[in-house]
Amino acid sequence: MEKDYQMASGKFWQTVWRFRRGKQFSAITVYSGGGELLASTGDIVRRWKEYFEDLLNPTDTPSLEEPEAEDSEIDSFITQAEVTEVVQQLLGGKAPGVDEIRPEYFKSLDIVGLSWLTHLCNIAWWSGTVPLDWVTGVVVPLFKKGDRRVCSNY
């Protein structure tokens, strides 16, 4: 299994380095939301943070009402069958999170591994907390086209 990860990881980094060998340009400045040119590192980082927060956490989306769940459903444990069903629906070939766990790892779990995963999900469900790696994401801006100083061109 580790060999598979190393091979997939190697292919990923080969692709990254191939792109980096192309046009190497580092945006020394970016435009603020108001169109002002920002030059200081702190301002640039804040602008990127602001841009991705707005992009990934829109505030103008209509709220969807969730169907009322019966109390018995809310108070029940997550079953191994539910976990197995979700794991089978995972798409392969996707990038791992900060925990470096790829979807293929979950799909290759046997009955014992799925049992442990189910137990972990139940601990998270009942405690109301999850490992930090589950809520941490990595955003890699990839330039599309246009002015490199405009955040929306990534």
Q: Is 37 left (phi over 0), alpha (psi -120 to 50) or beta?
A: beta
The residues, any chain, with a CB within 8 Å of residue 130's CB and separated by 6 or more, are: 124
Instruction: For residue range 70-123, list pLDDT tens digits in order.
Output: 655 667 899 999 999 999 999 988 888 888 889 999 999 999 999 999 999 999
SS3 of 44-96: the string is HHHHHHHHHHHHHCCCCCCCCCCCCCCHHHHCCCCCHHHHHHHHHCCCCCCCC
H or E segment at 120? helix 111-127
Q: Which pLDDT belongs to residue 6?
A: 58
Q: What is the pLDDT of residue 153?
A: 93
**pLDDT for residue 28 is more than 90:** no
Q: What percent of the chain has pLDDT over 90?
A: 51
- Please report which confidence band the pLDDT of residue 50 belongs to, taking 50, 70 and 90 as the band edges: very high
Other CB atoms within a 10 A radius of the CB of residue 37 amount to: 10
